[in-house]
Amino acid sequence: MEEGATMLLGASLVGMLLFSKLVLKLPWTHVGFSLLFLYLGSGGWRFIRIFIKTIRRDIFGGIVLLKVKAKVRRHLRERHTVPILFASTVQRHPDKTALIFEGTDTHWTFRQLDDYSSRVANFLQARGLASGDVVALFMENRNEFVGLWLGMAKLGVEAALINTNLRRDALHHCLTSSQARALIFGSEMAPAVWEIHTSLDPLLSLFCSGPWEPSAVPAGTEHLDPLLEEAPKHLPSRPNKGFLDKLFYIYTSGTTGLPKAAIVVHSRYYRMVALVYYGFRMQPDDIVYDCLPLYHSAGNIVGIGQCLLHGMTVVIRKKFSASRFWDDCIKYNCTIVQYIGELCRYLLNQPPREAENRHRVRMALGNGLRQSIWTDFSSRFHIPQVAEFYGATECNCSLGNFDGQVPPSGGLWLQQPLLSSVYPIRLVRVNENTMELIRGPDGVCLPCKPGEPGQLVGTIIQKDPLRRFDGYLNQGANNKKIAKDVFRKGDQAYLTGDVLVMDELGYLYFRDRTGDTFRWKGENVSTTEVEGTLSRLLDMADVAVYGVEVPGTEGRAGMAAVAKPFGSCDLEHFARLLDKELPLYARPIFLRFLPELHKTGTFKLQKMELRKEGFDLKVVKDPLFYLDARKGRYVPLDQEAYTRIQAGEEKL
Per-residue pLDDT reduced to its tens digit, 460-478 = 988 888 889 999 988 877 8
If pLDDT is split at 50, 70 and 90, which confidence band does 561 have?
very high
Write b or e for each residue in 568-599: b if 16 or more Cβ atoms lie within 10 A of its Cβ, otherwise e.
Answer: ebeeeebbebbeebbbebbbbbbbbbbeebee
List the domain range (segments joined by +) for residue 485.
Answer: 418-513
**Range with the poorest average pLDDT among 59-73, 198-212, 542-556, 600-614:** 600-614
- Check if the beta carbon of residue 498 is closer than 8 Å to that of residue 506: no
pTM over 0.75? The answer is yes
Residue 188 placed within a domain: yes
Name the most confidently modeled range: 109-113, 235-239, 419-423, 541-545: 109-113
Instruction: Answer yes or no: do 498 and 523 share one domain.
Output: no
194/272 same-domain check: yes
Instruction: Give burial (CB, 10 Å; 0-12/13-18/19+) of 226.
Output: exposed
CATH of the domain at 619: 3.30.300.30
pLDDT recorded at residue 86: 98
Whether residue 502 sits in one domain with residue 561: no
CB 38 within 8 A of CB 11: no
Task: Judge whether 338 lies within some domain.
Answer: no
- Given 490, 513, 536, which residue is the final one in a domain? 513
Percent with pLDDT over 70 in the chain: 88
CATH of the domain at 292: 3.40.50.980
**Domain end among 319, 344, 361:** 319
> Does residue 35 sit within a domain?
yes
Residue 14 has pLDDT above 50, yes or no: yes
> Do 172 and 309 lie in a common domain?
yes
pLDDT category at 400 given cuts 50, 70, 90 is: confident
Q: What angle do CA 439, 495, 77 make, to 5 degrees?
A: 120
- What pLDDT, on a 0 to 100 scale, did the predictor assign at position 124? 98
Asked whether residue 179 falls in the same domain as residue 297, the answer is yes
Bond prior to 408 in cis (omega within 30° of 0): yes
pLDDT confidence bin for 536, thresholds 50/70/90: confident
From 270, 301, 319, give the residue that closes a domain.
319
- Each residue's pLDDT tens digit, 210-261: 999 999 999 999 999 999 999 999 998 999 999 999 999 999 764 444 788 9
Which whole number is the average pLDDT over 498-508? 82
Is the pLDDT higher at 516 or at 461? 461
Question: How many helices (DSSP H) and strands (DSSP E) are in the chain?
Answer: 20, 28
| Distance between CA atoms of residues 520 and 40, nearest Å | 49
Does residue 634 sit in the same domain as residue 487? Answer: no
Same domain, 612 and 503: no
Residue 630 above 80 pLDDT? yes
Residue 578 included in any domain: yes
* Domain count across the chain: 4
- Quick one: pLDDT at residue 35? 54
Whether residue 372 is contained in a domain is answered as no
> Can you tell me whether residue 355 is helix, strand or coil?
helix
More confident position, 535 or 408 = 535
Note the pLDDT of residue 68: 93
Mark whether 128 and 252 lie in a shared domain.
yes
Can you tell me whether residue 216 is helix, strand or coil?
Answer: helix
- Note whether 138 and 193 are same-domain residues: yes
Q: What is the mean pLDDT of the chain?
A: 86
3-state helix, strand, coil in the chain (%, to 5): 40, 20, 40
Q: Does residue 375 fall inside a structural domain?
A: no
pLDDT band at 323 (very low <50, low <70, confident <90, very high): very high
* 478-497 pLDDT, tens digit each: 888 899 999 899 999 998 88
Contact between 479 and 485 under an 8 Å Cβ cutoff? The reply is no
Q: Are 38 and 10 in contact (CB under 8 A)?
A: yes
Cβ(652)–Cβ(589) below 8 Å: yes
368 found inside a domain: no
Pairwise CA distance, residues 162 & 185, whole Å: 10
Q: Which amino acid is at 308?
A: L
pLDDT for the residue numbered 37: 53
Q: Residue 40 — very low, low, confident or very high, per pLDDT cuts 50/70/90?
A: very low
462 and 521: one domain? Answer: no
Q: Is 556 inside any structural domain?
A: yes
Tell me the per-residue pLDDT of 79-127, one tens digit each, with 9 for 90 and over: 999 999 999 999 999 999 999 999 999 999 999 999 999 999 999 999 9
45 shares its domain with 93: no
Across the beta sheet with 336-340, the strand order is 106-109, 97-101, 313-316, 287-290, 336-340, 363-367, 385-390, 399-400
Q: Whose CA is closest to 509, among 496, 520, 521, 498? A: 498
CATH of the domain at 434: 2.30.38.10
Say whether pLDDT at 633 is over 80.
Answer: yes
430 and 506 in one domain?
yes
